[in-house]
């Protein structure tokens, strides 16, 4: 367990950095998103895979194949989508790769995250009610950031619009 001050700093750091970088193309809420996507992917890999490594082996389920399949459907897609989202977002935020196609990919990934998060919630409610608490933040993540990518002026300025025009000047180390 982390000390309280370290937990507070790790939660507030992306917001503070995003505020300081708000005049850069990848600043403000867009920076917060990228930070959280990277942390979420690392967390998904460590918690979703490393912590459940024993459960991923079919032999640990002692013939309960339907429960094992439900576990895989509830566990693997969210982890894979979190990693894919972080890779697409971080790679797409590089100055040479900023184009509207990145936003389209991220919207699709967030849509799949919402779908598989809902599916995991149904599976968790039926088989592991204690795990249901973790499904809500995953679905909230997809809804909040999906809405951000639909409405944000910064996203349109940095990545262009669906018509293909971007109006953010490239400057600085993150620009």
pLDDT at position 47 is 82
pLDDT of residue 172: 43
Q: Is residue 145 part of a domain?
A: yes
3 within some domain: no
Number of domains in the chain: 1
Question: Which of 142, 78, 151 lies closest to 114, judged by CA?
Answer: 142
The pLDDT of residue 59: 77
Note down the domain range covering 100.
26-159
Q: Is residue 150 part of a domain?
A: yes
Residue 85 lies in a domain: yes
Over its length of 175 residues, how does the chain's per-residue pLDDT go in tens digits?
557 777 777 778 888 888 998 888 888 999 999 999 999 999 888 887 877 778 877 877 887 888 889 988 988 999 999 999 999 999 999 998 999 999 999 999 999 999 999 999 999 899 988 888 878 888 899 999 999 999 998 999 899 877 665 555 544 444 4
Q: Is 4 part of a structural domain of the chain?
A: no
pLDDT of residue 80: 95
Q: Residue-wise over 42-56: b if at least 16 C-beta within 10 A, else e? A: eebbeebeeeeeeee
Has residue 71 been placed in a domain? yes
Which pLDDT score is estimated for 175?
Answer: 43
pLDDT of residue 115: 95
Residue 88 lies in a domain: yes
H or E element that contains 7? helix 4-20
The confidence score (pLDDT) of residue 136 equals 81
CB–CB of 85/35 below 8 Å?
Answer: no
Q: What is the pLDDT of residue 173?
A: 43
pLDDT computed for residue 85 by the predictor: 97
| Residue at 64 is within a domain | yes
- Give the integer Cα–Cα distance in Å for 61 and 139: 28
Residue 129 CB-density burial (10 A; 0-12 exposed, 13-18 middle, 19+ buried): exposed
Q: Smallest Cα–Cα separation from 79: which of 116, 111, 25, 119?
A: 116
pLDDT of amino acid 160:
85
């Amino acid at each position: 367990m982390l000390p309280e001050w370290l937990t507070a700093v790790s939660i507030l750091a992306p917001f503070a950095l995003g505020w300081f970088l708000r005049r850069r193309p990848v600043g403000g809420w867009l920076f917060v998103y990228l930070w959280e996507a990277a942390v979420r992917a690392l967390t998904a890999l460590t918690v979703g895979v490393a912590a459940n490594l024993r459960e991923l082996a079919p032999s640990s389920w002692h013939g309960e194949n339907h429960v094992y399949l439900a576990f895989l459907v509830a566990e693997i897609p969210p982890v894979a989508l979190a990693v894919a989202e972080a890779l697409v977002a971080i790679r797409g935020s590089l100055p040479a790769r900023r184009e509207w196609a990145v936003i389209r990919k991220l919207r699709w990934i967030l849509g799949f995250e919402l779908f598989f998060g809902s599916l995991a919630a149904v599976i968790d409610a039926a088989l592991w009610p204690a795990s249901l608490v973790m499904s809500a933040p995953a679905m909230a993540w997809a809804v909040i950031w999906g809405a951000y990518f639909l409405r944000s002026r910064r996203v349109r300025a940095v990545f262009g619009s669906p018509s293909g025009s971007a109006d953010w000047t490239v400057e600085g180390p993150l620009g």
